[in-house]
Amino acid sequence: MQTNRSINLSDEKKRDAVVALAFPGKPEGVTNKLPGGETPRSIRLLKESASTNFSSLTEEFKDADGVGKAIAEGDPGIDLETTGLLLDRTRRVYVGEDNRVVYRIRMEEVVYDADGSETERRPEKRMASNIATEIPLKWTGKTVPKAKAISMFVFSRKFQIKHVNGLTYDFLFAMAKELHESKSLMFIGGGAKGNEPLVTTAGGRPYKAFLEGRIEDDSYCLILHLTDMELKEITK
């Protein structure tokens, strides 16, 4: 684990402390090897160019059927001189419908309903991080059994919360002990009322957050689970 930021957290007694938030890191001593013993490396290859992507081919051959026919008769989507080139440094750019680079863009959020139809477009909101502000994250008292939680939510991110001194060790150990003994996750909220989602980075995505605690003798593990997706039964 690698610690790289702080988190302001409160407990059931409404005491709060700034502690460490650690990101999952690569386990020490674990390496990947190819069948021949070589160390693998990641590379980037050029898949297509602006002149060979689908939108350009559609414009050239009128429609998707025309593109399909052209591909069956030849290889218009493959540039033998550039396709498969090994890329070194790259930069992200945005292009318009004519495949030209655009420099002034407006990000929008697109909302879809259950059948995939677009229902709304709205300007993207860039939310400020709220995990280390003057207002601590709230211990809400709302719990859900672990077995039930894994069938209700898709937990996409997790962090370990760690103490920074002896006082915060006692503070976090007590929280982990309570959650461990109750075999449940505790809902953690932001804002003055503790009902706001957590945003870990500036401009980041909002998440529902739950704390899980584990203890063994004098050791503890306090894990912050984040989710932005609920699982629901399919009804006919």
Residues 136 and 200 in one domain: yes
Which of 68, 93, 123 terminates a domain? The answer is 123
For 33-70, how does the pLDDT look when each residue is reduced to its tens digit (9 = 90+)? Answer: 889 888 888 889 988 887 788 878 887 888 888 888 88
Mean pLDDT value of segment 61-90:
84
Confidence of residue 236 (pLDDT cuts 50, 70, 90): low
Give me the number of domains the chain comprises.
2
Full residue range of the structural domain in which residue 103 is found: 44-123
SS (H, E, C) the chain: CEEEEEEEEECCCCCEEEEEEEECCCCCCCCCCCCCCCCCCCCEECCCCCCCCHHHHHHHHCCHHHHHHHHHHCCCCCCCCCCCCEECCCCCCEECCCCCEECCCCCEEEEECCCCCEEEEEECCCCCCCCCCCCCEEEEEEEEEHHHHCCCEEEEEEEEEECCCHHHHHHHHHHHHHHHHHCEEEEEEECCCCCECECCCCCCCCEEEEEEEEEECCEEEEEEEEEEEECCCCCC
Q: Note whether residue 93 is domain-resident.
A: yes
Q: What is the mean pLDDT of the chain?
A: 88
CATH number of the CATH domain containing 134: 2.40.290.10
Distance CA 96, CA 168 (A): 52
Confidence of residue 1 (pLDDT cuts 50, 70, 90): very low
Residues 132 and 193 in one domain: yes
List Cβ neighbours of 43 (8 Å cut-off, separation of 6 or more): 86, 87
Q: Is the pLDDT reported for residue 151 higher than 80?
A: yes
Distance CA 46, CA 1 (A): 34
Confidence of residue 4 (pLDDT cuts 50, 70, 90): low
Distance CA 94, CA 85 (A): 21
**Token pair for 225:** 């689970």
Which of 107, 123, 139 terminates a domain? The answer is 123
Residues 12 and 68 in one domain: no
Residues 106 and 49 in one domain: yes
Rounded to whole angstroms, what are the CA distances from 233 to 102, 144, 181?
Answer: 43, 18, 30
Confidence of residue 17 (pLDDT cuts 50, 70, 90): very high
Residues 21 and 132 in one domain: yes
Q: Note whether residue 34 is domain-resident.
A: no
- pLDDT value, residue 234: 63
Residues 172 and 185 in one domain: yes
Q: Is the pLDDT reported for residue 23 higher than 60?
A: yes
Q: Note whether residue 35 is domain-resident.
A: no
Of 41-45, 207-211, 213-217, the least confident: 41-45
List Cβ neighbours of 150 (8 Å cut-off, separation of 6 or more): none
Q: Is the pTM of this model over 0.75?
A: no
Q: Note whether residue 36 is domain-resident.
A: no
Residues 63 and 136 in one domain: no
Residues 222 and 143 in one domain: yes
Residues 144 and 220 in one domain: yes
Q: Note whether residue 38 is domain-resident.
A: no
- pLDDT value, residue 109: 85
Confidence of residue 220 (pLDDT cuts 50, 70, 90): very high
- pLDDT value, residue 189: 94
Confidence of residue 172 (pLDDT cuts 50, 70, 90): very high
Residues 57 and 109 in one domain: yes
Distance CA 149, CA 173 (A): 22
- pLDDT value, residue 133: 92
Would you say 213 and 178 are in contact if contact means Cβ atoms under 8 Å apart? Answer: yes
- pLDDT value, residue 75: 79
For 129-149, how does the pLDDT look when each residue is reduced to its tens digit (9 = 90+)? Answer: 999 999 999 999 999 999 999
Which of 123, 148, 171 terminates a domain? The answer is 123
